[in-house]
Amino acid sequence: MTTATPVRTVVCPTCGGPSLYAPENRWRPFCSERCRQIDLGAWASEEFRMPTEAPPDDAPYGDPRTQES
**Where does this chain bind Zn ion (CB under 5 A)?**
12, 14-15, 31, 35
- For residues 57 and 30, give the distance between their C-alpha atoms in angstroms, rounded to a whole number: 41
Nearer to Zn ion, 14 or 20 (CB): 14
- Identify which of 37, 46, 47, 48 has the alpha carbon closest to the alpha carbon of residue 13: 37
Nearer to Zn ion, 17 or 44 (CB): 17
User: In the bound complex, what is the minimum distance in angstroms from residue 23's beta carbon to Zn ion?
Assistant: 18
Nearer to Zn ion, 17 or 49 (CB): 17
Which phi and psi (to 5°) does residue 35 adopt?
-65, -35
